[in-house]
Amino acid sequence: MESMTPISCPTTPRWNQDRPFLTGRFHQETRASSKFADSKRFTLDSSSSGVEQAIGCYDTPVQELIVIDDLLSALVGIEGRYISIKRFHGKEDSIAFQVDPSMDLALQELAKRIFPLCEYYLLIDQFVESSSQFKNGLVNHAFAAALRALLLDYQAMVAQLEHQFRLGRLSIQGLWFYCQPMMGSMRALAAVIQQASTKQFVGSGVLNLLQSQAKAMAGDNSVRSLLEKMTECASNAYLSILERWVYEGIIDDPYGEFFIAENRSLKKESLSQDSTAKYWSQRYSLKDTIPGFLANIAATILTTGKYLNVMRECGHNVQVPISERSKLTIFGSNHHYLECIKAAHEFASIELVNLIKDKYDLVGRLRSIKHYLLLDQGDFLVHFMDIAREELNKKVHEISVEKLQSLLDLALRTTAAAADPRHEDLTCCVDRASLLTTLGMHKDTDSNSIEDPMSITGLETFSLSYKVQWPLSIVISKKALSKYQLIFRFLFHCKHVERQLCGAWQIHQGIRSMNSKGTAILRSSLLCRSMLKFISSLLHYLTFEVLEPNWHVMHDRLQSTRSVDEVIQHHDFFLDKCLRGCLLLLPDVLKKMEKLKSVCLQYAAATQWLISSSIDINSQSHPQKTMIRDTTVTESIFNFEREFNSELQSLGPVLSKGSQAEPYLTHLSQWILGVSKE
């Protein structure tokens, strides 16, 4: 696992690591190749040569006393007269204790039994020295402190043994007996330390290692309690970081050990531009290293701090109320952690939801968006379509967005929308592609129909946009707005078709008084009525069967929701359901609808000419010419009628097939095809 070293990690002077007798590395000092070190080794060797005779020349009882004294030194990592330390330089620098060969064999064996304890001491002492350096993180610091306290007890024990020895009450067998309690503890700790050193564990890695070792050694009661004690000390530093995050939403993590990563490059303003809403999901995220005892609630911890952080970004400084009982650093069972964290999570969640609802009026914003982008109060749109007709009929690249914006402002100020203080956040935008192409891009599917860009006008690409500020941009993000815009574009185009058909209908009404018996006008009038029926049914379905019920469901759910993620979830669910209900995620049905609308538009555009031709036909006195023209007009109307009806008939099976998976299509089928079935 990688350990991130922040730049702020303080450095210490070189002597803090170079002085051998300060760091306890004087054993390796004599191996250095410098001349000075050689001189020092000579000094040490001369010290060693101070021993005048081999231990073998003494009587066994005297040898025992000498060995005990040497062992008391070896237990704290110091070479004695006849016990020395040998260093092996290989893949890992390791240390072994050796005895003088002339020593009594029984004494040699007794001494060698104690050597592992001496090696454990050296290993732990070196680990404490290296782990206490700043860059290793707070958890390693705390762990090293706990180990140092243990070593201090160990040294006190050695001093006590020395006292017994001075009183003449210590034999080598007694020494072995007194070392037994320490032996198991030191062995277990040495195993932990070897793993921690080899794998360069920091932070939660250390905590997890300690916990796993405590479980593995559960049979040995004293070792387990020792490791639990170590875990408690080491985790206190970690729990302080956790406490700050869970109660204040701040990551106070100077060495990058905490399991939550912060991506500072993601700003909250990006929610208004980024289509994938990265800020909410990636500004704070979980790392791979999570302490075992927090793994189950890691997600809860993440969201708690996120909520608090959101409130902080709003200038709303809130802090989870902390009582003495809710201190995380008061060691308890995992249950205690769970209780505290869940309480903090609930507090932060409710507080943030209240902030978004009350101060920032989320529901009001959603209602306003409903007015404009979902055409809840569409009177401004009628006015806008009137005054902007000429501009919207232009090609996409010829449209002046500023002019449209100005016309939109004019429409908003002269209709009921003027009463809404939020109408100033409404803006225009013109896309470059048609709705089908945009949806195709959204779905990453190949678009079979290659559209001619020149044929696209503003009526197909016009859309409204809405400026949303932080923190509502968490919910109404760029991605959500793009979904609103898709629905708007579909509704807008339907409105356009309806207006065109209404114009055609008005033309028919104008000539009703004329004697049109026997001409194609009657059929044209019926066809116009059928088309109006179709588009009105479609619009009614979209607004009253899809948008309005889903919005009210969302509104009711938002009243009782208790977390921002729930708010986001309900809102996204609402949008996705509207998209599906509006046929925007069903390409087959949508293509049928677009085809039908296209036929309607062609018919409406042709109505003027058809009616004029029909009138001319009536006023002509030449039967031959009249007959030829009448045929042409009749054929045109028949073609439109045939095309429309055939498309409408083919819509039935598509809707029936789709209604297996989407029950709401049954409603659409009834609305649109009911009359046809009659």
Partner 1 sequence: MEDDDQQKAADLVQELVLRLVSQNPQTPNLDPNSPAFLKTLRYAFRILSSRLTPSVLPDATAIAESLKRRLATQGKSSDALAFADLYTKFASKTGPGSVNNKWALVYLLKIVSDDRKSAINGLDSSVLLPNLGIGDTGNGVLSRGEAKKKDWSNGVLLVSKDPENLRDIAFREYAILVKEENEVTEEVLVRDVLYASQGIDGKYVKFNSEIDGYAVQESVKVPRATRIMVRMLSELGWLFRKVKTFITESMDRFPAEDVGTVGQAFCAALQDELSDYYKLLAVLEAQAMNPIPLVSESASSNNYLSLRRLSVWFAEPMVKMRLMAVLVDKCKVLRGGAMAGAIHLHAQHGDPLVHDFMMSLLRCVCSPLFEMVRSWVLEGELEDTFGEFFVVGQPVKVDLLWREGYKLHPAMLPSFISPSLAQRILRTGKSINFLRVCCDDHGWADAASEAAAASGTTTRRGGLGYGETDALEHLVTEAAKRIDKHLLDVLYKRYKFKEHCLAIKRYLLLGQGDFVQYLMDIVGPKLSEPANNISSFELAGFLEAAIRASNAQYDDRDMLDRLRVKMMPHGSGDRGWDVFSLEYEARVPLDTVFTESVLSKYLRVFNFLWKLKRVEHALIGIWKTMKPNCITSNSFVKLQSSVKLQLLSALRRCQVLWNEMNHFVTNFQYYIMFEVLEVSWSNFSKEMEAAKDLDDLLAAHEKYLNAIVGKSLLGEQSQTIRESLFVLFELILRFRSHADRLYEGIHELQIRSKESGREKNKSQEPGSWISEGRKGLTQRAGEFLQSMSQDMDSIAKEYTSSLDGFLSLLPLQQSVDLKFLFFRLDFTEFYSRLHSKG
Exposed, middle or buried by CB within 10 Å (0-12, 13-18, 19+), for 233?
A: buried
Q: What is the DSSP string of 291-358?
A: -GGGGGGHHHHHHHHHHHHHHHHTT--------GGG-TTS---HHHHHHHHHHHHHHHHHHHHHIIII
- Site pattern 62..101 for partner 1 (x: CB under 8 A): x-xxx---x-xx--x-xxxx--------------------
For position 419 contacting partner 1 by CB under 8 A, the verdict is: no
Site size for partner 1 (CB under 8 A): 69
For position 46 contacting partner 1 by CB under 8 A, the verdict is: yes
d(CA 118, CA 73): 9
Rg of the chain over all Cα atoms, to the nearest angstrom: 42
Query: Residue 134 or 176: which CB sits closer to partner 1?
Result: 134
Distances (CA, A) of 187 to 17, 107, 458: 26, 23, 79
Structure tokens of 346? 């609930």
Peptide bond into 471 cis (omega under 30): yes
State the nearest-atom distance from the C-beta of 48 to partner 1, in Å: 5
For position 139 contacting partner 1 by CB under 8 A, the verdict is: yes
Our measurement of the distance from residue 326's CA atom to the centroid of its chain's CA atoms, rounded to an integer in Å, reads 27
State the nearest-atom distance from the C-beta of 77 to partner 1, in Å: 9
Query: Residue 80 or 378: which CB sits closer to partner 1?
Result: 80
Query: Residue 9 or 363: which CB sits closer to partner 1?
Result: 9
For position 16 contacting partner 1 by CB under 8 A, the verdict is: yes
For position 19 contacting partner 1 by CB under 8 A, the verdict is: yes
For position 58 contacting partner 1 by CB under 8 A, the verdict is: yes
Considering only the stretches 11-19, 102-110, 368-376, 555-563, report the one whose residues sit in contact with partner 1 under the rule CB under 8 A: 11-19
For position 239 contacting partner 1 by CB under 8 A, the verdict is: no
Query: Residue 17 or 506: which CB sits closer to partner 1?
Result: 17
Q: Side-chain half-sphere of 417: how many Cα atoms within 13 Å?
A: 30
For position 267 contacting partner 1 by CB under 8 A, the verdict is: no
Structure tokens of 64? 């025992």
Contact 141, 132 (CB under 8 A): yes
What is the dihedral angle through the alpha carbons of 39, 43, 46, 50, rounded to the nearest 10 degrees?
A: 180
- Which of 34, 59, 105, 288 binds partner 1 (CB under 8 A)? It is 59
Contact 380, 368 (CB under 8 A): no
- Which of 1, 106, 156, 514 binds partner 1 (CB under 8 A)? It is 156
State the nearest-atom distance from the C-beta of 30 to partner 1, in Å: 12
For position 249 contacting partner 1 by CB under 8 A, the verdict is: no
Q: Which residues of 77-114 are buried (b: 16+ CB within 10 A; e: fewer)?
A: bebbbbbbbeeeeeeeeebebebbeebbeebbebbeeb
Query: Residue 19 or 395: which CB sits closer to partner 1?
Result: 19
Considering only the stretches 142-150, 471-479, 543-551, 598-606, report the one whose residues sit in contact with partner 1 under the rule CB under 8 A: 142-150
d(CA 624, CA 613): 15
Residues near partner 1, by CB under 8 A: 8-10, 12-13, 15-16, 19, 21-22, 24, 26, 40, 43-44, 46-48, 50-52, 58-59, 61-62, 64-66, 70, 72-73, 76, 78-81, 132, 134, 137-145, 148, 151-152, 155-156, 158-159, 162-163, 166-168, 233-234, 236-237, 254-255, 400, 402-403, 406
